Structure 1
């Protein structure tokens, strides 16, 4: 049994737990304090391999998404090849643990958030709202770990990151299955979620190069050097739509630069983050370097107000993001916050029509439109508006189904509340005079009638004042506006308050360059519908899509800069000092 740090023992009382077959077996641990009595609570998985077909419909699944090998019998342990691949009802629903000092711990809280499979609305797990004592214990654990982690050599941290990357690859399907079950993405799309986070972890393995300082001999016998040093305890507040990718935007760069991390995954789908915590332990991260806590508003406020936390990373909507940026900044923290979006594509008549149609349908409706970089708005230039029926036919052919079903192109939206909100925005478009060219409301797959389903929807004849245009829909809905010229398209896009990403489809180089120079967006795609940069660059934004004017962006070298403090040292070693016996008391008057 691994022991908690002395600091954390003052806050938590941990013991092991037991349950019948398909659950964690009992392990013993001595009481640590009287504040709370918590159990290590690892859960089990159904015996379905990654390449298996769908389980029979009469099979009742047993949850093993958060199970860890060190707490289960070997033949029951959740592994890279043993995880659920169905939406079957879970017979024994377990509470999600939190993660502190490299231990999975059952919260002592009385407040839980029910997490439902979006495809069925069956209960999957209960997510705790960690108590103040548990949140403080996580910070204490991270503070203690920082004392030694900051002095761990960058080469040793790099070796741990190499192992972490290898373990993510080994558990790729397992992570994706967790995402499909809790978030609703198709299994193929969930694997892409993992990949885009994995790429950041791979890039973080270049830490020895990324952390190199600079040196210059600025005068005779004098040189100035810079060092990049870790901040201390940092935190990440993650959204529901990318349960693996966004944690992996933060975990690798925050830790490889020498910081310790408090990770708060979305309370709607924390399973992938819990698996990543297990893999981090296996990779060799010391106790306390990575801690995972759960909760909603109270947990967020704790992170924003806790003096020991020096920086906060956030991805999500504008209301929450602006609040987090303002409150965190007011408390003296660094804050990087990616917010909402209304991503446009300008379509020129000279573009490759078939390539454009395939690109826009995939970018608009993939992940059920629940991407901050979803291509949600089409600006049809000139005669291209005549292509809308063909776009609708291509979208209509997409398969909407449970994410584990073979051939599914998109799954459900995250919750009944999200479904109702999206449907209300579609209805508002009708009320304001737009046309519903393709209506996905009322769709239900035969096998999963109780899920949060909206099929691809296309709204045409939209104007800039309509609610469906001014608000981020965040669902499988494409809104289409008509303009006459490229200048009109650029003006329309630039007037929108968001500036995450934009695309243009054209065969003309000069047209593309004109668009690129004049458009106000953080990411520009030329015949690329979702131009998210790979991690050797950074996730840039503009206008209301990024807090703080875009000064702090995720991953790449700017991500390293966010998680480190620059120290500048100027040293003078006068050669004359070796023999001179008289001090120089005057200010220098020459170089």
Structure 2
């Protein structure tokens, strides 16, 4: 590991042109390997990211391990007070955080602010640590015997987070892990690390002891080091399904607890009785918001009957005429660019393949004209009709501003094709029929379900996670499952025998008759 080049008193993240690591409270630059960070709105590189070496990652683990004993023994109320202060600093620095998100992700300010607010809500939930970590107590489970359980931290844990939510998804992980008494190593996306590193600095400003949160920026070298080091006890991940499966299998092979959230292909069923104007308004935001780069984005509308299908396509076409794609710096834009040039080409290739396979491109978002930002990574809102389940564009997760329409004859047929897909992250139904909605929510094989709600993302005091190949692991992210994931239960049974009584040796299993 290289020498320390600066600390937070010398420079803030907004002033850096090379983004490094935050280890034991100090900014570190390896200097061995780096790669550019692009502004997707302009297509130009404005910063570089230092890619951590194995030695640097190991130094972060050592720092977290050294900080663990004292932090583990810190009272939960004191841990919570740090989170209360952290929440305050996030709110005070909201504009700066959203600017960093926009510069490196391309997200429009109103969308970035929504992401930040969702992250803050998870911090608020973590502020309840004294209540969340209370154990269970039973008195007199046997003669003068009491039994109780308590929730103890795991130790050093890590989170590997995606580019599409550089603030919200880290806040799904480290606030809860830390208030539970763990120390944390965060590996954000190398595409847009600045906002993540900035909020980590804010947590230090809130009073978090050095070493409790370390941030590593890197690539597969950093990830593999975290997955194989015996000192790391648990791994949280959000990203694509192939990588989620790799993370989960590698972590499990190395004896670690793991939750790995993968990809999605989220369907909305449009019933014949749906309020079509409301459905269209909801679908526009759910399909194209954040350029479709959300694991909960609605990418397939399943119209039940041609009448519903024709009306949906007609109204969607009209609604999409006013969509504005452009740079993050203009709040009048509806959504910005996709993350990289390579991803722009990938999304366009899926549209090409749908057209080649016989689908109808109703609204074509390929190569939109964004005056003054011709080199940006833009894809406009795209609507594709007459899609079938054998098409590549249907099977794969596109992760772009593309909505595909499939037509079926019955609700049962719509549910069957949703259940048949390998992903089971989110889904919804638009209907006025309560019986149909209840049947749908009871029987659909998907983890998160909306009824006339297109993005059924659970609030912070519930938990987030899909089914099938959208989640590897037993516990969902944040909320009550977050507490369970970042702690281990210990049960203690205790008796203090009276000195006036003689204890008899017993060889049978103790029972209470």
TM norm structure 2: 0.97
Q: Deviations over 1:338-370 (max 9, x none)?
A: 100000000012111111110001100000000
Paired position in structure 2 for 1:371: 294
Paired position in structure 2 for 1:305: 228
Shift of 1:408: 0.7
Residues in 1 aligned to 2:161 and 2:506: alpha-carbon distance in whole angstroms: 56
| One of 9, 22, 38 as aligned partner of 2:4 | 38
* 1:570 aligned onto 2:493: yes
Shift of 1:470: 0.2
Shift of 1:538: 0.1
Paired position in structure 1 for 2:252: 329
Paired position in structure 1 for 2:308: 384
Question: What secondary structure does 1:127 align onto?
Answer: strand
Paired position in structure 2 for 1:403: 328
Greater mean alpha carbon deviation, residues 443-452 or residues 361-370: 443-452
Residues in 2 aligned to 1:406 and 1:214: alpha-carbon distance in whole angstroms: 50
* 1:436 aligned onto 2:436: no
Conservation of the 8 A alpha-carbon contact between 1:351 and 1:505: yes
Q: Identify, as 1 or 2, the structure richer in strand.
A: 2
* 1:71 aligned onto 2:30: no
- Structure 1's 153 and 443: CA in aligned 2 closer, same or farther, altered over 3 A? same
Paired position in structure 1 for 2:161: 238
- Structure 1's 466 and 104: CA in aligned 2 closer, same or farther, altered over 3 A? same
Shift of 1:109: 2.8
Question: What secondary structure does 2:488 align onto?
Answer: strand
Residues in 2 aligned to 1:224 and 1:309: alpha-carbon distance in whole angstroms: 30
Shift of 1:103: 1.4
Greater mean alpha carbon deviation, residues 579-588 or residues 425-434: 579-588
What does 1:457-536 align with in structure 2 at a 5 Å threshold?
457-536=382-461
Question: What secondary structure does 1:321 align onto?
Answer: helix
Residues in 2 aligned to 1:227 and 1:116: alpha-carbon distance in whole angstroms: 47
Paired position in structure 2 for 1:185: 107
Total equivalences in the alignment: 509
- Structure 1's 583 and 520: CA in aligned 2 closer, same or farther, altered over 3 A? same
Conservation of the 8 A alpha-carbon contact between 2:100 and 2:195: yes
Question: What secondary structure does 2:309 align onto?
Answer: helix
Question: What secondary structure does 2:428 align onto?
Answer: strand
Root mean square deviation, CA, Å: 1.4
Residues in 2 aligned to 1:472 and 1:340: alpha-carbon distance in whole angstroms: 7
Conservation of the 8 A alpha-carbon contact between 1:130 and 1:295: yes
- Structure 1's 589 and 177: CA in aligned 2 closer, same or farther, altered over 3 A? closer
| One of 125, 129, 132 as aligned partner of 1:207 | 129
Paired position in structure 2 for 1:157: 79
Question: What secondary structure does 2:489 align onto?
Answer: strand
Which runs of 5 or more structure 1 residues have no equivalent in the other structure? 1-11, 13-35, 42-67, 84-91
TM norm structure 1: 0.84
* 1:412 aligned onto 2:337: yes
Which runs of 5 or more structure 2 residues have no equivalent in the other structure? none
Question: What secondary structure does 1:578 align onto?
Answer: coil
Residues in 2 aligned to 1:124 and 1:192: alpha-carbon distance in whole angstroms: 25
Paired position in structure 1 for 2:500: 579
Shift of 1:589: 5.9
Conservation of the 8 A alpha-carbon contact between 1:160 and 1:285: yes
Residues in 1 aligned to 2:436 and 2:46: alpha-carbon distance in whole angstroms: 50
Shift of 1:97: 2.2
Q: Deviations over 1:254-302 (max 9, x none)?
A: 1000000000010000011111111011100001000001111111100
